[in-house]
Amino acid sequence: MRVRELAIEGAVEFTPEVFPDERGMFTSPYQAPAFEAAVGGLLFPVAQTSHSRSRRGVIRGLHYTLAPPGNAKYVYCPRGRALDLIVDIRTGSPTFGAWEAVELDEETCRSLYLPIGVAHGFVILEEDTIISYLLSAFYDPAVERALSPLDPALGLPIPDGLDPILSERDRIAPTLAEALTARVLPDYETCRRLAAGHRA
């Protein structure tokens, strides 16, 4: 398992070994020993698994969970290809406002760990792409929020040549600056305390 720390504090990329043969391929996108070593001994308490299937051009996100309760994610793409978008929206974070864009696809089986408090979204680059998630908490719409993935101040690298397809919720979502003014963003220290509860 190859590991790379991202520019967002606490976010990590994992690339597993892939074993192809005449039948197809085999891989293990999540491996607890590699994960725990990369994130300083944190465990990943899986409370829910989810996946989405999307058309080319779909943009889902940017989504985040209020903290508390907070919700960490482990994300990979078992089918198709997507550009995964991560934005640090934790007020007080040393990397507040920073973003990363990582291509996920079925060939590399690259995965991302998203710590509590960051915003997440993705752009679908191929038809019938599936994104799969491990979640550290159950999905609760009462504590879920969204930011605009098209916020010009963020300048996320939405690829040219796509006809973006967004839900109504994502289309009217506030910008990062608007959410900051409204005081609805997660606090960095609170997110760190919540994550510490995932230690053995």
Question: Which residues are catalytic, by number?
Answer: 63, 133
Question: Which residue matches tokens 């010009």?
Answer: 152
DSSP calls for 30-85: --HHHHHHHTTTB-----EEEEEEE-TTBEEEEEEE-TTT---EEEEEEESEEEEE
Return d(Cα 135, Cα 30) in angstroms, integer: 13
Distance CA 16, CA 170 (A): 32
Element (H, E) at 104: strand 99-105
At residue 179, what is the residue type? Answer: A
Task: Quote the CA–CA distance of 132 and 84 in Å, as a whole number.
Answer: 12
